[in-house]
Amino acid sequence: MSKHPQKAADFIANEARTDWHDQSLWVVREKRDKLAKGVAEWEELRELASQIKDHTLSHLDSYLEEFEKNALTNGAKVHWAKDAEAHNQIVLDILQRHQVRSLVKSKSMLTEECSLNPFLEKQGIEVIDTDLGERIIQMKNEPPSHIVMPAIHLKKEEIGELFHEKLQTEKGATDPKYLTEAARQHLRSHFLQADAALSGVNFAIAETGGVTICTNEGNADMGIHLAPLQIHCMGLEKVIPRQKDLGVFTRLLARSATGQPITIYTSHHLKPKPGGEMHIVIVDNGRSEQLGREDFRNSLKCIRCGACMNTCPIYRRSGGHSYDYTVPGPIGSILTPGKDLKKYSDLPFASSLCGSCSDVCPVKIDIHQQLYKWRQIIAEEGYLPKSKTKGMHMAAKILSNPTSYQRATKWMRRILRFLPRPLLYLNTNVWGKQRELPEVPTKTFKDWYKENRDES
Amino acid sequence: MNVGLFIPCYVDQFYPQVGIASLELLRKLGCKVHYPAGQSCCGQPLANSGFEKKAIPVYEHFVETFAPYDYIVAPSGSCTYHVRKHYDILPKTREVEHVREKSLDMAEFLVDVMKLDKIESHFPHKVGLHQSCHGLRGLRLASGSERVQNSFSKIRAVLDLVDEIEFVELDRKDECCGFGGTFAVNEEAISVKMGKDRIQDHKSKGAEVIVAGDMSCLMHLEGIMRRKKENIPVRHFVEILNGTQL
């Protein structure tokens, strides 16, 4: 069994927990529905957002240069990173130049993607994630399981246990208010001590050279306002043309992500504070390559709202860790094959192709169509088991020829009807592990038609 | 109007009553219907597994079989969607374009072409309507819960013409059942869990029968229920329109 199916089966083995996980995320999906339905022009807004992103992606080079020019004029410093390694090195160089010993971080799936934390820690720099969910999984030494709610896989009892161990909260405490307060107090000291703050970027505006960060906890602002040195790391697809385009996305983002009309904080950073420094690191890490793939280009429209995860019936029942990548769920399953086709060849198949992801996506990425297209490439490149490939070759021959179709189905029907049950339900019959095979009627429709209704 | 009836391979093999109901219903409504005997399959199982290029001879056979008809009608949203959407890899000949454009699911054909507004049928039961995904989000047979638009359902619209039929309100009105073709065996654990969850929704709302536009979803749900010996009967909506009783 390949990786995702096995991990999903392990997850589902605890059915009560699976139901809890599924329902927690379904509630978020329902909140999103309610908020989306409050905007009469929702579908036009999605279309507009999609077109803005398509336009931007087709002029990405010039918008990035415009952004850089304006950011430099504002007094920020701009760096370009080809890949994760270059990104990490750039951040390290900046931090070392300022003799930074303690860094507070917020809101950055990109730095997860680049594995920045372990890299900096090896260099003796303390890195503290300050989003509550991120901090929890950092303490647990686990990867995020969701891009917006990174600790959604953990129950409050487990967080209580963790905080008891790490933050000396009362044993057995599960009250979210109490636990959050403990985390606030713990983080406060880190904010005050930090020499630098690093954040992700939701939108980079070419026209102004500024970056916009959408958060709910205020931690990004606290970090950035307190520390003299601020660093913003962004994937190169985060740029949008004009300030006035921003409103289209902020209306869609929080509604899609968490079912809020807007995030509590929408912070716009334009220039360094007096006496401070502001750095922007623009990261490629495979994005240009994806831009070059016609069928998959528009996956770069993603604004990382996570709505496709919340709606995905597979994600909800297998958990984010079953995808083995920073960005899990449907969007992750179309991004990962471009990074390592062999390693992630199981992910485009971790879908029933129900299409809910594409309909919920605020920027109209045709996610399920791309899953289908990746499947074609994976099969062509030979990353599917030989047995499957052979079976499919045979099926193609049978199904394109009426005589062989008749002959093959006749045999199949005989086997299904007359084979003793123990032989029919061997371990190799995966369908039959938890399901009955359909009952075989004595006549097919074709037989019936021949006898009764053939008027030709 | 010459209608070519497409009966998907697994319906032909396992659910002949659905083919019979489709044929009888269309004839009752005055259509000239023919079932071309050389048909086999639309090729979707191959294509969804990543072998669409291998499926080209299957596609070509389908086009050749059905090109002579004004409409190609099938009791399956999923197979119809496959022909309409994924036969785009064939050269765009007149035959190919004709077959793609004129392939309709039964619900579409009844609502959009036949403008069905009455039917002789009586079904005094509480129905749980399962919206199969490819019909729903591929053919747009109904408004999906994700989209902001006026609510509609073509299957529901034709079933509403049936006397004494009632519908249960589900908690999740259009979540996938987990069949997904080869997904059902590739991701067996999730597939079955999704099916169990759908069944539970219908069961807890008191559905006496689960009705859908795709027997593939129902084959999966029925398979799970029969194993657990907790049978809620399953029916294709054309069976109900054609007067089948429980």
pLDDT at A455: 58
CB of B75 less than 8 A from some CB of A: no
Do the chains contact at B223 and A436, CB–CB below 8 Å?
yes
Pick the closest to residue B172 from B217, B219, B128, B238 (CA basis). B128
Q: Mean pLDDT throughout A37-59?
A: 98
Q: Percent of chain A at pLDDT above 90? A: 96
pLDDT at A193: 94
pLDDT at A385: 87
Strands B71-74 vs B2-5: parallel, antiparallel or unpaired: parallel
Pick the closest to residue A93 from A277, A216, A347 (CA basis). A277
Q: Mean pLDDT throughout A302-322?
A: 98
Q: Distance, in angstroms, between A386 CA and closest chain B CA?
A: 13
| 3-state secondary structure (DSSP) of residue B68 | coil
Query: Which pLDDT band, with edges at 50, 70 and 90, does A2 fall under?
Result: low
Whether the pLDDT of residue A1 is over 60: the answer is no
Is the complex ipTM more than 0.95? Answer: yes
Residue in chain A closest to B54 (alpha carbons) equals A396
pLDDT digits (tens, 9 = 90+) for A323-367: 999 999 999 999 999 999 999 999 999 999 999 999 999 999 999
CB of B125 less than 8 A from some CB of A: no
Do the chains contact at A26 and B172, CB–CB below 8 Å?
yes
Whether the pLDDT of residue A256 is over 80: the answer is yes
Q: Mean pLDDT throughout B140-169?
A: 97
Helix axes A329-339, A367-380, angle to 10 degrees: 30
Strands A277-283 vs A77-81: parallel, antiparallel or unpaired: parallel
| Residue A354 contacts residue B131 (beta carbons within 8 Å) | no
pLDDT at A454: 56
Sheet containing strand B234-236, strands side by side = B166-167, B126-130, B209-212, B234-236
CA-to-CA separations, A373 to A62, A75, B45, in angstroms, rounded:
30, 44, 14
Best of B11, B51, B204 to substitute, by most chain A Cβ atoms within 10 angstroms, is B51
Q: B192: which chain A residues are within 8 Å (Cβ-Cβ)?
A: 433-435
Q: Mean pLDDT throughout A435-444?
A: 95
Strands A126-129 vs A210-215: parallel, antiparallel or unpaired: unpaired
Backbone angles phi, psi at A280, to 5 degrees: -125, 125
Do the chains contact at A395 and B45, CB–CB below 8 Å?
yes
Q: Mean pLDDT throughout A135-139?
A: 96
- Where is pLDDT greater, at A388 or B224? B224
pLDDT digits (tens, 9 = 90+) for A142-165: 999 999 999 999 999 999 999 999
Query: Residues near A389 by Cβ (< 8 Å), separated by ≥ 6?
Result: A379, A382, B51
Whether the pLDDT of residue A422 is over 60: the answer is yes
Do the chains contact at A431 and B57, CB–CB below 8 Å?
no
Long-range contacts from A7-10, C-beta under 8 angstroms, 24+ separation: A7/A318, A7/A319, A7/A321, A7/A322, A7/A324, A8/A314, A8/A317, A8/A318, A8/A322, A8/A350, A8/B187, A8/B189, A8/B190, A9/B188, A9/B189, A9/B190
Whether the pLDDT of residue A456 is over 50: the answer is no
Q: Mean pLDDT throughout A119-137?
A: 96
C-alpha A378/C-alpha A376 separation (Å) is 6
CA-to-CA separations, B21 to A100, A171, B163, B235, in angstroms, rounded:
75, 65, 18, 11
pLDDT digits (tens, 9 = 90+) for A239-254: 999 999 999 999 999 9
pLDDT digits (tens, 9 = 90+) for A72-111: 999 999 999 999 999 999 999 999 999 999 999 997 899 9
pLDDT at A191: 94
Residue in chain B closest to A5 (alpha carbons) equals B187
Strands B166-167 vs A126-129: parallel, antiparallel or unpaired: unpaired
* Helices marked H in A216-366: 219-226, 246-258, 287-291, 307-311, 315-318, 329-339, 356-360
pLDDT digits (tens, 9 = 90+) for A213-241: 999 999 999 999 999 999 999 999 999 99
Whether the pLDDT of residue A305 is over 80: the answer is yes
Query: Across the interface, which of A352, A355, A435 has its CB nearest the CB of B183?
Result: A352
Helix axes A176-193, A132-140, angle to 10 degrees: 90
Q: B149: which chain A residues are within 8 Å (Cβ-Cβ)?
A: 43
Sheet containing strand A239-240, strands side by side = A239-240, A203-205, A210-215, A265-269
Q: Mean pLDDT throughout A440-450?
A: 95
Query: Residues near A321 by Cβ (< 8 Å), separated by ≥ 6?
Result: A7, A142, A143, A145, A153, A328
Query: Across the interface, which of A356, A359, A444 has its CB nearest the CB of B12?
Result: A444
| 3-state secondary structure (DSSP) of residue A275 | coil
**How is residue A392 written in tokens?**
């499919």
Do the chains contact at B222 and A380, CB–CB below 8 Å?
no
CB of B184 less than 8 A from some CB of A: yes
Best of A29, A380, A445 to substitute, by most chain B Cβ atoms within 10 angstroms, is A445
**How is residue A268 written in tokens?**
């716009």
- If one counts every other C-beta atom within 10 angstroms of the C-beta of residue B171, the result is 13
Whether the pLDDT of residue B82 is over 60: the answer is yes
Pick the closest to residue A300 from A284, A314, A281 (CA basis). A284
Q: Which residues pair with A127 in a beta bridge?
A: A103
Query: Across the interface, which of A43, A378, A388 has its CB nearest the CB of B148?
Result: A43
Best of A14, A365, A449 to substitute, by most chain B Cβ atoms within 10 angstroms, is A449
